[in-house]
Chains A and B, each alone.
Chain A
Amino acid sequence: GASFGLYFPRKEYSENVYIDQPAGTPLLRIHALRDSHGETAHFHLCQNLIISRARSHENHWFQIREKMGLLYLSRSLDREDFNMLSVGSWMPLSKVMLYVFLSSHPFQEKECDSATRTTVVLSLINATAPACSSLTARQLCFTEMDLSFHIKENKPPGTFHQLQLPSAHHLCQNLSITYKLLAAEGLPFRYNENTTGVSVTQRLDREERERYELIAKCTVRDGFREMEVEVPFLINVLDEDDSPPFLPNGTDTADAVVEFNRKEGTVLAALTVYDADTTPIYPLESSRKKYTGTIVTDDPWISETFRVEHIFDEIHFSPNGSQVRGTQHEYKLVLNKSISVTEHRSFQLDVLVNDTEFNGPEKSVMLHFNVSILPVSIQFPNTTYRFTVNRNAQRFAQIGKICIENCMKFRGVNITYKLLSPNVSCYAVGILQGREDRYGSLYVNDSSVLLRPECKEIQYTVQATDKQSRKHTKTLLTVVLEGTLFKKEEDCPDSCAMSKHLAECEECGGLGVLTGRCQWRQGSGKGITTNYSTCTPSIKTCPDGTCDIVESKDPAICPQDCTNGNIIGGHGKGTGNLGIKSGHGICYCFPRQNCYCEKDDIKEQFCDEVCKTVI
Chain B
Amino acid sequence: LATPPSPPGQDLQGWRVPVDCVRASELCAAEGSCSSRYRTLRQCLAGRDRNTMLANKECQAALEVLQESPLYDCRCKRGMKKELQCLQIYWSIHLGLAEGEEFYEASPYEPITSRLSDIFRLASIFSGMDPATNSKSNHCLDAAKACNLNDNCKRLRSGYISTCNKEISATEHCSRRKCHKALRQFFDRVPSEYTYRLLFCSCKDQACAERRRQTIVPSCSYEDKEKPNCLDLRNVCRADHLCRSRLADFHANCQASFQSLTNCPGDNYQACLGSYTGLIGFDMTPNYVDASTTSITISPWCSCKGSGNLEEECEKFLRDFTENPCLRNAIQAFGNGTDVNLSP
Report Cα–Cα, A56/B54, bound state, in Å.
Answer: 10
Contact A54 B94 (CB under 8 A): yes
Known contacts A83-B14, A113-B52; decide if A281 and B167 are in contact (CB<8 Å). Answer: no
Residue of A nearest to B231 (CB): A282
Chain A residues contacting B312 (CB-CB under 8 Å) are: 148, 150, 236
Chain A residues contacting B309 (CB-CB under 8 Å) are: 150, 238-239, 278, 280
Contact B73 A88 (CB under 8 A): yes
Report Cα–Cα, A325/B310, bound state, in Å.
Answer: 13
Report Cα–Cα, A159/B7, bound state, in Å.
Answer: 41
Contact A88 B229 (CB under 8 A): no
Known contacts A54-B93, A83-B14; decide if A313 and B51 are in contact (CB<8 Å). Answer: no
Chain B residues contacting A250 (CB-CB under 8 Å) are: none
Q: Which of A50, A54, A613: most chain B Cβ within 10 A?
A: A54
Contact A314 B305 (CB under 8 A): yes
Binds B, one of A60-68, A421-429, A478-486, A569-577: A569-577
Report Cα–Cα, A574/B16, bound state, in Å.
Answer: 57
Interface residues of B in 247-301 (CB under 8 A from A): 266
Counting residue pairs across A and B whose Cβ atoms lie within 8 Å, the total is: 95
Residue of B nearest to A206 (CB): B309
Is B3 located at the chain interface by the 8 A CB criterion? no
Contact A573 B106 (CB under 8 A): no
Residue of A nearest to B309 (CB): A238
Contact B311 A92 (CB under 8 A): no
Contact A281 B106 (CB under 8 A): no
Chain B residues contacting A577 (CB-CB under 8 Å) are: 166-167
Of the candidates B9, B51, B232, B306, which one forms a contact with A112 in the assembled complex, judged by CB atoms under 8 Å apart?
Answer: B51
Q: Shortest CB–CB separation between residue A118 and chain B, in angstroms?
A: 12
Is A536 located at the chain interface by the 8 A CB criterion? no
Report Cα–Cα, A177/B173, bound state, in Å.
Answer: 63
Chain A residues contacting B128 (CB-CB under 8 Å) are: none
Contact A113 B51 (CB under 8 A): yes
Tell me the count of chain A residues lying within 8 A, CB to CB, of chain B: 41
Is B235 located at the chain interface by the 8 A CB criterion? yes
Report Cα–Cα, A101/B312, bound state, in Å.
Answer: 22
Is B343 located at the chain interface by the 8 A CB criterion? no
Of the candidates B8, B14, B211, B232, which one forms a contact with A87 in the assembled complex, judged by CB atoms under 8 Å apart?
Answer: B14
Report Cα–Cα, A577/B169, bound state, in Å.
Answer: 8
Report Cα–Cα, A303/B111, bound state, in Å.
Answer: 59
Interface residues of B in 210-259 (CB under 8 A from A): 211, 229, 231-232, 235
Contact A88 B232 (CB under 8 A): no
Contact A313 B306 (CB under 8 A): yes
Q: Shortest CB–CB separation between residue B112 and chain A, in angstroms?
A: 12
Is A48 located at the chain interface by the 8 A CB criterion? yes
Contact A282 B307 (CB under 8 A): yes
Contact A90 B231 (CB under 8 A): no
Report Cα–Cα, A613/B210, bound state, in Å.
Answer: 11
B88-111 vs A, CB cutoff 8 Å, 1 = contact: the mask equals 000001100111000000100001
Report Cα–Cα, A170/B52, bound state, in Å.
Answer: 37
Report Cα–Cα, A314/B303, bound state, in Å.
Answer: 12
Contact A282 B111 (CB under 8 A): no
Contact A86 B307 (CB under 8 A): no
Contact B167 A575 (CB under 8 A): yes
Contact A576 B14 (CB under 8 A): no
Is A441 located at the chain interface by the 8 A CB criterion? no
Is B10 located at the chain interface by the 8 A CB criterion? yes
Interface residues of B in 46-94 (CB under 8 A from A): 49, 51-52, 54-55, 63, 67, 72-73, 93-94
Is B308 located at the chain interface by the 8 A CB criterion? yes
Residue of B nearest to A92 (CB): B7
Is A269 located at the chain interface by the 8 A CB criterion? no
Contact B72 A55 (CB under 8 A): yes
A307-334 vs B, CB cutoff 8 Å, 1 = contact: the mask equals 0000011100000000001000000000
Contact B51 A281 (CB under 8 A): no
Known contacts A54-B94, A282-B235, A575-B167; decide if A314 and B7 are in contact (CB<8 Å). Answer: no
Is A25 located at the chain interface by the 8 A CB criterion? no
Of the candidates B16, B98, B305, B308, which one forms a contact with A88 in the assembled complex, judged by CB atoms under 8 Å apart?
Answer: B16
Q: Shortest CB–CB separation between residue B227 and chain A, in angstroms?
A: 11
Q: Shortest CB–CB separation between residue A58 and chain B, in angstroms?
A: 11
Residue of A nearest to B173 (CB): A575
Chain B residues contacting A325 (CB-CB under 8 Å) are: 311
Contact B97 A56 (CB under 8 A): yes
A267-309 vs B, CB cutoff 8 Å, 1 = contact: the mask equals 0000000000011111110000000000000000000000000
Residue of B nearest to A279 (CB): B308
Chain A residues contacting B9 (CB-CB under 8 Å) are: 92, 126-127
Tell me the count of chain B residues lying within 8 A, CB to CB, of chain A: 43
Q: Shortest CB–CB separation between residue A51 and chain B, in angstroms?
A: 10
Chain A residues contacting B168 (CB-CB under 8 Å) are: 576
Is B126 located at the chain interface by the 8 A CB criterion? no
Chain A residues contacting B232 (CB-CB under 8 Å) are: 281-284
Contact B52 A239 (CB under 8 A): no
Q: Shortest CB–CB separation between residue B220 and chain A, in angstroms?
A: 15
Is B2 located at the chain interface by the 8 A CB criterion? no
Contact A55 B306 (CB under 8 A): no
Chain A residues contacting B51 (CB-CB under 8 Å) are: 46, 112-113
Report Cα–Cα, A284/B233, bound state, in Å.
Answer: 12
A550-591 vs B, CB cutoff 8 Å, 1 = contact: the mask equals 000000000000000000000001111100000000000000
Chain A residues contacting B1 (CB-CB under 8 Å) are: none
Contact A280 B14 (CB under 8 A): no
Is A526 located at the chain interface by the 8 A CB criterion? no
Report Cα–Cα, A307/B266, bound state, in Å.
Answer: 57
Contact B97 A282 (CB under 8 A): no
Is B170 located at the chain interface by the 8 A CB criterion? yes
Contact A52 B106 (CB under 8 A): yes
Residue of A nearest to B96 (CB): A54
Is A110 located at the chain interface by the 8 A CB criterion? yes
Contact A282 B306 (CB under 8 A): yes
Contact B169 A575 (CB under 8 A): yes
Residue of A nearest to B52 (CB): A113
A141-173 vs B, CB cutoff 8 Å, 1 = contact: the mask equals 000000010100000000000000000000000
Q: Shortest CB–CB separation between residue B6 and chain A, in angstroms?
A: 9
Residue of A nearest to B168 (CB): A576
Report Cα–Cα, A312/B308, bound state, in Å.
Answer: 12
Report Cα–Cα, A312/B306, bound state, in Å.
Answer: 9
Residue of B nearest to A89 (CB): B15
Residue of A nearest to B259 (CB): A144
Chain A residues contacting B229 (CB-CB under 8 Å) are: 280-282
Report Cα–Cα, A575/B16, bound state, in Å.
Answer: 56
Report Cα–Cα, A528/B211, bound state, in Å.
Answer: 20
Chain B residues contacting A574 (CB-CB under 8 Å) are: 167
Residue of A nearest to B167 (CB): A575
Is A53 located at the chain interface by the 8 A CB criterion? yes
Interface residues of A in 179-196 (CB under 8 A from B): none
Contact A573 B97 (CB under 8 A): no
Question: Chain B residues in contact with chain A, CB under 8 A?
Answer: 7-10, 14-16, 49, 51-52, 54-55, 63, 67, 72-73, 93-94, 97-99, 106, 111, 166-170, 207, 211, 229, 231-232, 235, 266, 305-312
Q: Known contacts A46-B51, A83-B14; can you find 12 more A-B pairs with CB under 8 A?
A: A53-B106, A54-B94, A54-B106, A90-B111, A112-B51, A150-B309, A280-B307, A280-B309, A281-B306, A284-B232, A312-B306, A577-B167
24 contacts between A and B (CB under 8 A): A50-B99, A55-B67, A87-B14, A87-B16, A92-B9, A113-B52, A126-B10, A150-B309, A150-B312, A236-B312, A238-B309, A278-B308, A280-B306, A280-B308, A281-B232, A281-B305, A282-B231, A282-B232, A284-B232, A313-B305, A314-B305, A573-B166, A575-B167, A576-B168
The 4 closest A-B pairs by CB, nearest first: A280-B308, A281-B306, A92-B7, A282-B232
